[in-house]
């Protein structure tokens, strides 16, 4: 039987990683759309595009970083981030995909991720060298986080 898991770094700059039988098979940036509000363009997670990713994926389990508001974050930013998290949680529930929410401190420690801005990208390149092109840009840290969250999920799945 094939084991399929996914992992998500939520938020507009986040990503979704897909694994099959322990192998990283795909990494997708968080699907977003742009809407007009109060004469301003705002990006938000696209529920339709995100749902499409999971329609045929037949995921056995999903690991999602448990997010929360951070000090000095603006009200609008916190609301937007919470909305993104809620969209993700709702889609996983709608497709009845079992989910484990994991604190950043837990998965980073378990995956021996170092400190610093590029730590996730460096560790993801080390663990998945065949996918290193997916992590080469500074803005690919969301991809790297999603992959490391998935690697953490694979590590604990059998426990």
Return the higher-pLDDT residue of 27 and 74.
27
Looking at residues 48-56, what average pLDDT do you find? 93
Q: Which residues pair with 37 in a beta bridge?
A: 40
Alpha helices in the chain (DSSP H): 47-55, 75-94, 104-110, 119-127, 141-157
Would you say residue 69 has pLDDT above 90? no
pLDDT digits (tens, 9 = 90+) for 15-28: 999 999 999 999 99
What domains can you pick out in the chain, each with its CATH number?
Answer: 4-157 (3.30.420.10)
User: DSSP class of residue 111?
Assistant: T
Residue 77 has pLDDT above 70, yes or no: no
Q: For residue range 89-133, what is the model confidence (pLDDT) as tens digits?
A: 999 999 999 999 999 999 999 999 999 889 999 999 999 999 999
């Amino acid at each position: 039987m094939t084991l399929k898991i996914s992992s998500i770094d939520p938020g507009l700059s986040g990503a979704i990683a897909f694994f099959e039988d322990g192998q990283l098979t795909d990494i997708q940036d968080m699907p977003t759309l742009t809407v007009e509000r109060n004469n301003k363009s705002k990006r938000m997670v696209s529920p339709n595009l995100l749902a499409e990713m999971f329609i045929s994926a037949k995921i056995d389990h999903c690991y999602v970083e448990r997010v929360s508001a951070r000090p000095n974050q603006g009200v609008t930013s916190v609301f937007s981030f919470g909305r993104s998290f809620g969209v993700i949680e709702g889609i996983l529930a709608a497709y009845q995909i079992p989910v484990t929410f994991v604190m950043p401190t837990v998965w980073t420690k378990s995956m021996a991720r170092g400190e610093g801005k590029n730590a996730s990208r460096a560790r993801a390149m080390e663990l998945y060298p065949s996918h290193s092109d997916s992590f080469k840009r500074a803005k690919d840290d969301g991809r790297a986080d999603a992959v490391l969250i998935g690697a953490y999920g694979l590590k604990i799945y059998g426990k």
